Amino acid sequence: MDKFSHIRAACSAQIIVTTHACFQRSMVKIPVIVDSELHRQLSVREALLRLSHLVRQRCLP
């Protein structure tokens, strides 16, 4: 298991849970193919919005 295995696992996961800070500020640190294009720098927000069927925000009380 290497330090990027969680990112590779997320690419095929049915459900991804992340923090608001990660969604807003983090970058995917490995090359990702999205819409047949290789992206070497991709924000977590863009990756999730482009690769997911549904993105839902949960507000805590």
Domain assignment of residue 32, yes or no: yes
Q: What is the mean pLDDT of residues 37-55?
A: 88
Whether 52 shows a pLDDT value over 90: the answer reads no
Structural domain of 9: 5-51
Number of domain units in the chain: 1
Domain assignment of residue 15, yes or no: yes
- What is the reported pLDDT for 40? 92
Q: pTM, whole model, 2 decimals?
A: 0.73
First to last CA, the chain: 36
42-45 contacts, C-beta under 8 A, 24 or more apart: 44/18
Label residue 48 exposed, middle or buried (CB < 10 Å: 0-12, 13-18, 19+): middle
